[in-house]
Amino acid sequence: MFKRENTKRIKIGNIEIGGSDEIKIQSMCNVKTDNIEDVVKQILELEDAGVDIMRVSVPDEKAALSIDKIKNKIHIPLVADIHFDYKLALMCIERGIDKIRINPGNIKDFEKIKCIANECNKKNIPIRIGVNSGSVDKEILKKYDGRVTVSALLDMVKINVDLLNKCDFDNIVLSLKSSNVTMAVEAYKKISEIYNYPLHIGITEAGTLYSGSVKSSVGLGILLYEGLGDTMRVSLTANPIEEVKLAKEILKSLNLLKSGIEVISCPTCGRTNINIIEIANEVEERVKELKTKKYIKIAVMGCIVNGPGEAREANVGVAGGNGEGLIFKKGEIIKKIREEEIVNALIDEVKKMI
Ligand code: SF4
């Protein structure tokens, strides 16, 4: 697996995306943007969960007027999601927004598009062209018998990129989201052959927590494995904190996240003589409270058949016995303890490593 490294590097506030940089995780607030207190509270919670970039919708002036007030209270870059109204974009730029998501084609007047591009150029603010399968232009759809196709998505991107390039604007991030996984994958692959702009990847309208997590994991997993994606957003009909948790798990599963705690656990079988399901769930819950820049792997295994082998591969682990467990650390058995002491023992060992 490789990461496409020839993407342009783009600065979003105090972070960069593109090139060989780690994939940045983003999410979007699901409270009204003019409700500053709630927005800030949600962003701070997501910061704590590991989000790198947050986006808010800016449907009206009240929302645009809130941008500087929100920015003053958070520590990560803020993106404004704007449609149709160029004035809202200008208001956000004036108030220190770090990136704008807008489809210039929605703003019919070229002079207005130019105005946004000029202001963004002055302040080095990138623009994401966010094409979505649900909002392909009617004129483009006509060309494809009214159907959304990969070609239709690509046409939308090209039109929007051309508009910005005509304004001497090149500080661009691209996304082509579809709720259809295969369509999204194909579209991202094709666009990566045409432009070297960084890619914001995602499967849009993926669904509720369970089904959306599966769909997002499959789609984003394929893209990331192909080396595509500089920043990612999991879209779930759920609390945005779930989007960040899932994004981190996806990156961890592909060895693309270099820090954090990974818990692996066996599926249990007839050989299991301790309650591995309960222990694994409890360990996973408890590690959420632990913050570390290191990468730590915990193995929770039911028995000595595969247990010690897997547990030795991990930084710390347990292999269950009959109502007891062998705790391993750096490949060595360090102690044998009773079942009810296993969770605390594993957490204590992890804390020592942090
Ligand atoms: S580690 Fe042991 S208990 Fe767990 S699935 Fe494998 S054989 Fe069964």
What string of pLDDT tens digits covers the 354 residues of the chain? 566 778 999 999 999 999 988 899 999 999 999 999 999 999 999 999 999 999 999 999 999 999 999 999 999 999 999 998 999 999 999 999 999 999 877 887 899 999 999 999 999 999 999 998 888 888 899 999 999 999 999 999 999 999 999 999 999 999 999 999 999 999 999 999 999 999 999 999 888 999 999 999 999 999 999 999 999 999 999 999 999 999 999 999 998 987 889 999 999 999 999 999 999 999 999 998 898 889 999 999 998 776 666 666 789 999 999 999 999 887 788 999 999 999 999 999 999 998
Helices (H), 84-180: 86-94, 110-123, 138-143, 150-166
For 338, the token pair is: 């009773």
CA 335–ligand 1 middle distance (angstroms) = 20
For the sheet with 332-338, list strands across it.
Answer: 260-265, 295-301, 316-320, 324-329, 332-338
Ligand 1 pocket, residues with Cβ under 6 angstroms:
266-269, 271-272, 301-303, 305-307
Asked whether residue 2 is assigned to any structural domain, the reply reads no
Tell me which DSSP letter residue 106 carries.
Answer: G
Asked whether residue 163 is assigned to any structural domain, the reply reads yes
The verdict on 232 and 196 lying in the same domain is: yes
* Residue to substitute in 300, 301, 312, 328 for testing ligand 1 pocket (most ligand atoms within 8 angstroms of CB): 301
- The total of structural domains in the chain comes to 2
Q: Please state the separation of Cα 43 from the chain's center in Å.
A: 14
For 286, the token pair is: 């408890």
The values of phi and psi at residue 11, to 5°, are -95, 125
The verdict on 28 and 133 lying in the same domain is: yes
Which residue type, as a one-letter code, is found at position 260? G
> Which CATH number fits the domain that encloses residue 143?
3.20.20.20
Cα–Cα distance for residue pair 58/95, rounded to 1 Å? 13
Domain assignment of residue 339, given as a range: 260-353
The verdict on 182 and 324 lying in the same domain is: no
The verdict on 228 and 312 lying in the same domain is: no
The verdict on 224 and 272 lying in the same domain is: no
CA 306–ligand 1 middle distance (angstroms) = 6
CA 347–ligand 1 middle distance (angstroms) = 22
For 26, the token pair is: 């983003």
Whether the CB-CB separation of 150 and 185 falls below 8 Å is answered with no
Asked whether residue 1 is assigned to any structural domain, the reply reads no
The verdict on 247 and 307 lying in the same domain is: no
For 330, the token pair is: 């750096």
The verdict on 181 and 281 lying in the same domain is: no
> Which CATH number fits the domain that encloses residue 349?
3.30.413.10
* Residue to substitute in 264, 266, 312 for testing ligand 1 pocket (most ligand atoms within 8 angstroms of CB): 266
Cα–Cα distance for residue pair 164/125, rounded to 1 Å? 13
